[in-house]
Amino acid sequence: MSPGNQFKVILEGAILPGFERRQVQEGLAELFHSSEEKMERLLQGEPVPLKKRYDRDQAAAICRKIRQTGAQCRFEEIPEEETASGRNRSAQGTMTDESGPPATGRDPVEEPAEENGTEAGPASAGSREQAGPDRLPELLNRYVGTNTAYYEHQFARFGNPEKYRFAVSWHWPAFFFFFFWALYRKLWFWAGINLTLSLGLSLFIQPGVLYLLWALVWPVVANYLYFRVASSRVQRAVLEPRYEARLDALGGVSRPAAGLGVFLFIAVVTLTGNHLTDRFVEQYGEQIQEVLPGSGSQIRGDGSMLENIVDRKSKLALTSLKLSYLGTSLKILLLSEDNPENRNKIAQFERQFTDQRILDSWGQHLRLEQQVERYVLKSAGPDMTFNTDDDILQLVTHQPSP
């Protein structure tokens, strides 16, 4: 090893964010083949250099191992005059061997020097920048990337990664569209949880108080979840070389992911829309008929009126309610002001039938036919064949635009 390229490794006497003190003591004791009591002396806030001297690659590797235990460390180049002095003392038997790692099979990290050992000098321009606890707010801001003032204020509620606590906060974007916000902020896991549980809630649980609680819980915990994810990623990133570039890649926002989420959401709604309509009709269909009876009449394929259905839970009754609900919805659209926006809504309504998205209780798609001064919503009925006597027809009258 030539005089100009020797490096020393210095433990800085502090613990990295996210690690417990006992955990760090145990890790250092295992790494140095020493006792936890001795390792406690290395965590008193004072820099302590190791005895040996290394080349750059060895020093960097040892520093990585030390940081993985949770202790802060750095390495720095030894000035040429100090290297020469060290060689002279070594010749007199006062220094340990400087030729490299011992050939005993032990880890190349040796026992640290005593606390009165060589003082650690300032890091040279060539040494790696260290990420101590005082840099955590700065690194969190770098991770967040945008709107940092807001999140810095919110994160302060929760303490720090070593001693955090939950605190109530409110996040308006998460109240209206948590799924899209989570994708935008790269909270992949929580976006998936939100979508999956929301879908399960809508498919299997009747609307009620649980829906309200579900809508309120996400904006309350959103900032805390973001703080935990951001802190965890920052702590892992600082253990790697070029950690700031790593933070830039991990953090910030993802507009493509939010856009993809919109398409995913539309696809899920399309696939589950018929089931949701069935549940809505089953629960509210009769009230809709009573409040908005103007959607028209229901008749059978043979021309007789459909009325007095005894079993209100039968497929016939549920299909009748669905047709009534759809007819009422169409009637409202037809009575709305004639403008491009409402004409587009009517076209979207018609497209659901063209694309065969809406089914009756027998699993057959419903039809929508436009006739002179009326629409006809049609189910094939129990025999599941159109244009037979048991068809169910919902008539919706309307006045064509001149």
- Asked whether the beta carbons of 131 and 243 are under 8 A apart, the reply is yes
CA distance 227 to 138: 14
Q: Hunting for tokens 């009754």 — which residue is that? A: 317
CA distance 271 to 279: 14
Q: Give me the pLDDT at residue 297, please.
A: 63
The C-alpha torsion from 140 through 242 and 110 to 71, rounded to 10°, is 0
- What's the pLDDT band for 93 if we cut at 50, 70, 90? very low
Q: What percent of the chain has pLDDT over 70?
A: 73
H helical segments located in 292-354: 315-335, 340-354
CA distance 18 to 95: 36
DSSP states of 40-85:
HGGGSSS-EEBSS-B-HHHHHHHHHHHHHHTEEEEEEEPPHHHHHH
pLDDT for 180-231, tens place per residue? 999 999 999 999 999 888 877 776 666 667 878 888 999 999 999 999 999 8
Helix (H) or strand (E) holding 274: helix 255-291
- Asked whether the beta carbons of 237 and 132 are under 8 A apart, the reply is no
DSSP tag of 156: G
Tokens of 75: 């390495």
Q: Give me the pLDDT at residue 330, please.
A: 80
- Domain residues of the chain, as ranges? 3-130, 134-253, 273-397
CA distance 87 to 102: 18
Q: Give me the pLDDT at residue 401, please.
A: 55
Q: In a 3-state reduction of DSSP, which class is residue 168?
A: coil
DSSP tag of 11: E
Q: What average pLDDT does the segment 24-39 reach?
A: 84
